[in-house]
Structure 1
Amino acid sequence: MRVIASIPRLCGLLLVLAALPVHAAITLQARALDAPGIAARGVRVLLAPETARPGVFALHLSAAAVAVPALGWKQVGLSVVGTLQRQGDGRWHMQAPLQLRAAPGGALRDAQIEVTLDPLSDTAVIIITQGATRIDAALPMDAPLHVQLQLTALPLIWLDGALAAASPGASIRNGSASGSVALDADGGSVRVSGRLGVEGLAAFAQGGSVAAQGFGLRGDFNLQHDAQVTRLDFDGALRGGELLAGSFYAQLPARDAPLYVNLSRDAVGALHISRLDYQDGTAVALNASMALSAKGALDSLVVKRANIDLARAIPRYASTWLQSHGLPGLQGMGQAHVALNWRRGALNALQVRLQNVDMADISGRFAIAGLNGALDWRSGATLAPTTLGWRAASIYHLPLGAAQLHLRDDKGLLALTAPAQIPLLGGSMLAQHFSFDPAGTQRTRWSTGLAFVGVSLGELSGALGWPAFRGTLGGAIPDLRWQDGRVVLQGGLSMQVFGGYVDVTRMSLAHLFGVAPELGADLSLRGIELAPLTSVFDFGEITGKLDGNVQGLRLVSWHPVAFKAELHTVGGGRISQRAVKNLTSVGGGGLAGGIQGAVLRLFSTFPYQRIGLSCTLANDVCTMGGIKPAEGGGYSIVEGDGLPYIHIIGHQTRVDWPTLLSRLQAATTGQRPVIR
């Protein structure tokens, strides 16, 4: 037999049966018992009078499976064994052990329940205790799915099923709640509201990509859930704990941080936060809205107001995100005020105000001090010009002097209104043009043109830890732009150095501020004066001019991993004993002709006709060559011109790159050799 009834009818039936002048036990069995929001299967009720105590009945209530969708209950077993007793005022009272089986979070596995039924007022009061946990419930018997609850130290893990029902994949692991709650259920929908305090919450969702640990909150809330949508309003404060959402990690303050949230989750799992207000003292003040897909991807973000104290906010909210983007240990101070609108993968508006901002990468890759000014940009709009300037800055230890950039948003393109001159190492770097499209694709995000005038090679060498070059550097980069996630040189860069020219083409740079920057380029050398170049390296003096090229140069973390280089002199010159010895060592070769070694020690320099050396680096091995193949094997590195005649031959064609580097280091730092 299938019985369809409601909980008040069941309570009323028990009271009627107890009021009858019965002298034998009464058993009620139901294969199914349904009511709005609850269903039970295999229900059995045994009511038996105790002959020794009039008005007292032994009660045995059990159910093989109870389902409460709003709480995530599916196959929960129920057992209550106690006594039902009529009080002098007409009320009925029951006190008994309560045991649930297979409830989410192990809820009420070993509890005590106390029930008071008042037929006159048609109300029921239920008190459930288990250890430090207490639940006081009051409900009208004619509307039992309207419940007033007072909670004390309720384990949040007991609500794991309710959370999973509202947000599939979410789970609670720890924490407790206390406060007052009103619950209304109607069929497949439920509304829960009240005031709660939560301590020690540990929960996660989306496979652990969203998580909370040691989290506390208190405030007023209103939760509505049905098959189509879940809505939540919360007005209160956060206190302590840790939060993780993707690469965002936050350590919340130990004091109250006011929070207001209005959110909804639809049937497919997409999350919409229509309002988010958060205040963490002076560290962060945020007013925003956002939407996330069912998989947790950000669909939209609108920040109406974000006031940020960098010194407090970076370590508390941004350290993990910065580390995941290659900026571990970024330090900052000053004030930033930000507003933005980002939808469907594109930025639509950005407004930034900066006050006395200092930022520095602890690895020394960049730093900026005294940054002040503003940026205003809106897609497709033309806005008033703004100014952004700094007192000092540096990139990889290259100091940049004070400068100001005057920017204008012209129909969505942020650009310089006039060239900007930036002091650099005794000279200057001139930003001839600059344009930035925040809404652009990876191929067209920004571009600039730079010119360098009078840059001191000596100061540049000191900043980069190079040998002490002399002279000045000048050159131009007509077009440098961001393309496919890399900084790409369009056209070429031409630099004047050591009386000649170095032309750079096909240059690209990726992960500039990442853990392992990658640089690729082709270089062409024309007319480089060898005398000042070799004197700087203490390699031994060589006069003349050098031409050559380096193709397919690739640096990772500023160390060469691949290139094809060929260098040769033009027009001849003279070479010193030290340079002869070092070139011989680099090529792993020797001097041709048996009498040369005895004669050469009489001379300090020697005339040469040609010098040439090549190296192709791949897989940490350098394949070497020279001017041409030498008779008897090897390759010619130096060919003499006149007397005393000198001829240097290299014999090693394959050399480990670390070995070659050690030879070059020894050649430029060792004692002066004497040819014997």
Structure 2
Amino acid sequence: MLVLAALPVHAAITLHARVLAAPGIAAHDVRVVLAPEMAQPGVFALHLSAAAVAVPALGWKQVGMDVTGTLQRRGDGRWHMQAPLRLRAAPGRALRDAQIDVTLDPLSDTAVIVIDQGATRIDAALPMDAPLHVQLQLTALPLSWLGGALGAAMPGASVRNGSASGTIALDADAGSLRVSGRLGVEGLAAFAQGGSVAAQGFGLRGDFNLQHDAHATRLDFDGALRGGELLAGSFYAQLPARDAPLDVNLTRDAAGTLRISRFDYQDGNAVALDASMALGAKGELDSLVVRRANIDLARAIPRYASTWLQSHGLPGFQGMGQAQVTLDWQRGVLNALQLQLHHVDMADTSGRFAIAGLNGALDWRSGTTLAPTTLGWRAASIYRVPLGTVQMRLRDAQGLLTLVAPAQIPLLGGNMLVQHFSFAPAGTQRTRLSTGLAFTGVSLGELSGALGWPAFRGTLGGAIPDLRWQDGRAVLQGGLSMQVFGGYVAVTRMSLAHLFGVAPELGADLSLHGIELAPLTSVFDFGEITGKLDGNVQGLRLVAWHPVAFKAELHTAGGGRISQRAVKNLTSVGGGGGLAGGIQGAVLSLFSTFGYKHIGLSCTLANDVCTMGGIKPANGGGYSIVEGDGLPYIHIIGHQTQVDWSTLLSRLQAATTGQGPVIR
């Protein structure tokens, strides 16, 4: 102002500064040219340019500036300027072609600046001696223009779309930025952490206070979210098209740790959540405290949980009913959990599990003893095997959740008795869960129908004395003994992982003793065999319920009778073996059954190839599968020792579904 006052009437002045600096701003190669307009007293032509303007708090590094217009002194002593404003290399291509209107008041030492560019308008008021202490009124400001400020506060964050309107106050100096006010945002598109955190079509409105310096970024927001999509790792949400109130306080330190001390979110009847959490620099969850979570499953699951469930192997999960949850989880250890369920139904559309009428509560806190709670369901199923109604009393005793008394669950005409159950939520993976089960009177026919097996007859009974959850797998301690077909099957070394995942994995060893072959073979169109069967299956491994490895050996304990149909199919399974002992096909057709002394067959499956064997090596090559007893004498020999597993399965399928022979 002093320069202008001293300027001769017909003189022009040119100013050049290599660097102009103030707290929080620096301009390089600054040029100002003032020239009086001869025909208009008190009016000056103004040209202002800067090769590079840096405002670290706004993310400006090498921003070029050019202003050319007129400066006029009014009668009240104020100066007014109108001019085009053009910036180069500003974040988001801000102010590339704008109009600026500036009013300077030397008496009050203030400047009022109005910037227009299309639908965008910025009204700013600031003291002339502190240009980064600004009051702003924003109208349709592109959020991409603020990308530099966001990147400075949250490294790696980027804004692609959206606009903001509202009133804010900005204070910036060397290394710090303070922004507060009331803001409305529409159509926000942004991402951070390489795209693992993103927003699309996102809207919000409310009061905020942001502070950023070299040590931390702090944000307080009290307002509402509206519409759009959010992604954070495997969490994906479709926000409601109406206002959803949100009150949040967060701090991000220089190491990248994000602490959300308050997160209060209300989405109508779908979710009401009051929580706090901390995330590491790579986005990993470090702690989570849920003070209150009221959830309507039918509304909340499709809106907030469908993608997370899909990433955890439950793409078709559905639910309805009400749940209330509180929990305290710190650095991988659960310290407290309270759960209340009201009329909850849950199901996997692929049929892996379902539960209906789930009601009750759980109350658990580490290191304390609490009163028992009750939890039960009206009906449930696992892989379409139905489980009947049950009520379980659960007690928390010094951090261990246990059954107060054994619980009996109806199962396919019989019962499954949960003899004991203990769950240590704060325990290690190796000691977290243990249970014991006993089965009585379970109908094999109903079980076969539920699982899509052939129609076996009889009942099943047995026990699992100790089943534990270890390292993410269900592991059988001891053995499972089942009574079936007049004998029993012993299962040892059983483990099960990803039970409800895309590809469940089962491992076990099986031992068979005294299985009656007549009722077993009568189920299949394989042909009748009488006698008793022994054997074992070692190293059985199923993936998605399909065998990928095992070593099996089956043999009869004593002799019996075998039908012509079974003779033919055993011959086919062994690779088209022959008949020995001089019995010709014409004579063989006169008999419907034959006596046998031994039957034996083995298969070792590895790399999709079955290495086969029988009772013993046969004279002349191959291996004996059936050794006859009496007349007519039969001897079945297998010749193929290496059989593709799919080929063997097709032979077995043909053997059990084809037409039986006609005896004339």
Contact 1:18/1:57 (8 A) holds in 2: no
Please state if 1:614 is matched with 2:605.
no
Contact 1:46/1:59 (8 A) holds in 2: yes
Report the 3-state secondary structure (helix = DSSP H, G, I; strand = E; otherwise coil) of the residue aligned with 2:518. Answer: helix
Superposed CA offset, 1:625-657 (max 9, x none): 111111111111111111111111111111111
| Cross-structure match for 1:396 | 383
How far did residue 285 of structure 1 move?
0.3
| Cross-structure match for 2:263 | 276
Contact 1:458/1:470 (8 A) holds in 2: yes
Letter in 2 for 1:591: L
- Which has the larger displacement, 138-147 or 243-252? 138-147
Please state if 1:519 is matched with 2:496.
no
TM-score (norm 1): 0.97
Report the 3-state secondary structure (helix = DSSP H, G, I; strand = E; otherwise coil) of the residue aligned with 2:572. Answer: helix
Please state if 1:95 is matched with 2:69.
no
How far did residue 121 of structure 1 move?
2.3
Counterpart among 189, 210, 224 of residue 176 in structure 2: 189
Letter in 2 for 1:508: S
Contact 1:337/1:353 (8 A) holds in 2: yes
How far did residue 432 of structure 1 move?
0.6
TM-score (norm 2): 0.98
Which aligned runs of 4 or more in structure 1 are off by greater than 4 angstroms?
none
Contact 2:525/2:660 (8 A) holds in 1: no
Tell me the number of residue pairs that the alignment of Structure 1 and Structure 2 aligns. 663
Report the 3-state secondary structure (helix = DSSP H, G, I; strand = E; otherwise coil) of the residue aligned with 1:161. Answer: helix
Please state if 1:600 is matched with 2:620.
no
Contact 1:303/1:340 (8 A) holds in 2: yes
How far did residue 674 of structure 1 move?
4.3
| Cross-structure match for 1:465 | 452
How far did residue 182 of structure 1 move?
1.0
Please state if 1:260 is matched with 2:215.
no
| Cross-structure match for 2:127 | 140
How far did residue 61 of structure 1 move?
0.8
Counterpart among 340, 361, 366 of residue 348 in structure 2: 361
Superposed CA offset, 1:73-99 (max 9, x none): 111111111110111222110001111
Counterpart among 507, 530, 533 of residue 543 in structure 1: 530
How far did residue 143 of structure 1 move?
3.8
Return the alpha-carbon distance in structure 1 between the equivalents of residues 581 and 559 of structure 2: 21
Query: What is the correspondence of 1:179-578 to structure 2 with a 5 Å cutoff?
Result: 179-578=166-565
Report the 3-state secondary structure (helix = DSSP H, G, I; strand = E; otherwise coil) of the residue aligned with 1:406. Answer: strand
Contact 2:221/2:249 (8 A) holds in 1: yes
Letter in 1 for 2:197: V
Letter in 1 for 2:650: S
Contact 1:612/1:637 (8 A) holds in 2: yes
How far did residue 675 of structure 1 move?
7.1
How far did residue 558 of structure 1 move?
0.6
Identity of aligned residues (%): 88
How far did residue 664 of structure 1 move?
1.1
| Cross-structure match for 1:630 | 618
Counterpart among 634, 646, 654 of residue 658 in structure 1: 646
Contact 2:296/2:320 (8 A) holds in 1: yes
Contact 2:583/2:633 (8 A) holds in 1: no
Superposed CA offset, 1:147-196 (max 9, x none): 11110000000000000000000010100000111112233222111111
Superposed CA offset, 1:599-639 (max 9, x none): 22222111111111111111111111111111111111111
Superposed CA offset, 1:271-312 (max 9, x none): 111101100000000000111111111111110000000000
- Which has the larger displacement, 490-499 or 44-53? 44-53
Report the 3-state secondary structure (helix = DSSP H, G, I; strand = E; otherwise coil) of the residue aligned with 1:154. Answer: strand
Superposed CA offset, 1:95-151 (max 9, x none): 011111111111111111110111222221100011111000011224433211110
Contact 1:577/1:674 (8 A) holds in 2: no
How far did residue 314 of structure 1 move?
0.1
Return the alpha-carbon distance in structure 1 between the equivalents of residues 355 and 414 of structure 2: 19
Superposed CA offset, 1:230-289 (max 9, x none): 111111100000000010000000000001111111112211111011000000000001
Letter in 1 for 2:518: A
Return the alpha-carbon distance in structure 2 between the equivalents of residues 292 and 505 of structure 1: 42
Letter in 2 for 1:634: G
Superposed CA offset, 1:526-546 (max 9, x none): 000111111111221111111
Return the alpha-carbon distance in structure 1 between the equivalents of residues 455 and 583 of structure 2: 38
| Cross-structure match for 1:591 | 579
Please state if 1:668 is matched with 2:649.
no
Return the alpha-carbon distance in structure 1 between the equivalents of residues 35 and 589 of structure 2: 124
How far did residue 23 of structure 1 move?
2.1
| Cross-structure match for 1:9 | none
Return the alpha-carbon distance in structure 2 between the equivalents of residues 536 and 116 of structure 1: 97
Report the 3-state secondary structure (helix = DSSP H, G, I; strand = E; otherwise coil) of the residue aligned with 1:159. Answer: helix
Letter in 2 for 1:362: T
Letter in 2 for 1:652: Q
Contact 1:84/1:92 (8 A) holds in 2: yes
| Cross-structure match for 1:7 | none
| Cross-structure match for 1:85 | 72
Runs of at least 5 residues in structure 1 that lack an aligned partner in the other structure: 1-11
Report the 3-state secondary structure (helix = DSSP H, G, I; strand = E; otherwise coil) of the residue aligned with 1:578. Answer: helix
How far did residue 36 of structure 1 move?
1.6
Report the 3-state secondary structure (helix = DSSP H, G, I; strand = E; otherwise coil) of the residue aligned with 1:153. Answer: strand
Report the 3-state secondary structure (helix = DSSP H, G, I; strand = E; otherwise coil) of the residue aligned with 1:144. Answer: coil
Superposed CA offset, 1:12-31 (max 9, x none): 45xx4255334221111111
Return the alpha-carbon distance in structure 2 between the equivalents of residues 674 and 618 of structure 1: 38
Return the alpha-carbon distance in structure 1 between the equivalents of residues 584 and 485 of structure 2: 32
Q: Quick one: structure 1 residues 529 and 51, their matched pair in 2 at CA, closer, same or farther if it must change by over 3 Å?
A: same
How far did residue 577 of structure 1 move?
1.1
Letter in 2 for 1:611: I
